[in-house]
Amino acid sequence: MHDIREILNVMPHRYPMLLVDRILEVDDRHVRALKNVTFNEPFFAGHFPENPVMPGVLIVEAMAQAGGFMLLRTIEDRKGKLILFTGIDNCRFRRPVVPGDQVIFEVEVRSRRRTFAKLAGTAQVNGNLVCEAELISAMVERP
């Protein structure tokens, strides 16, 4: 298990865009991560004030961050790298994520080349599927 300090050491993201709270399991081909969704999330102020729902794009971003942790953690010069989206395929949202939910992300490598990776991920709350997607990324040098 990796706590927030270890995540911050690997990932370039910071508040308010760091969307993963804990890495539960990780190896070279799979990661399982956790996000505690609280009412204090900045996006709930406008999405939607009377019926707060986590934006789907942020669910996919959190899934990608879990995958990014898996890919970056073994790279020695990771401080000089960024992982960028190059595509999102077959993305489906099954149910809303609301304050109080704990989202579990499962992401696995489908294929990987030197700087490109295709990942498949799911997000679940209480064992119920809330989102699934295929994520395509490229690793680039930081400017």
Catalytic residues: 47
Are 7 and 73 a contacting pair, CB within 8 Å? no
Chain position carrying tokens 């009377």: 50
Q: How far apart are CA 96 and CA 107, in angstroms?
A: 20
Are 20 and 66 a contacting pair, CB within 8 Å? yes
- What residues are paired with 81 via a beta bridge? 141
What is the three-class DSSP state of 43? helix
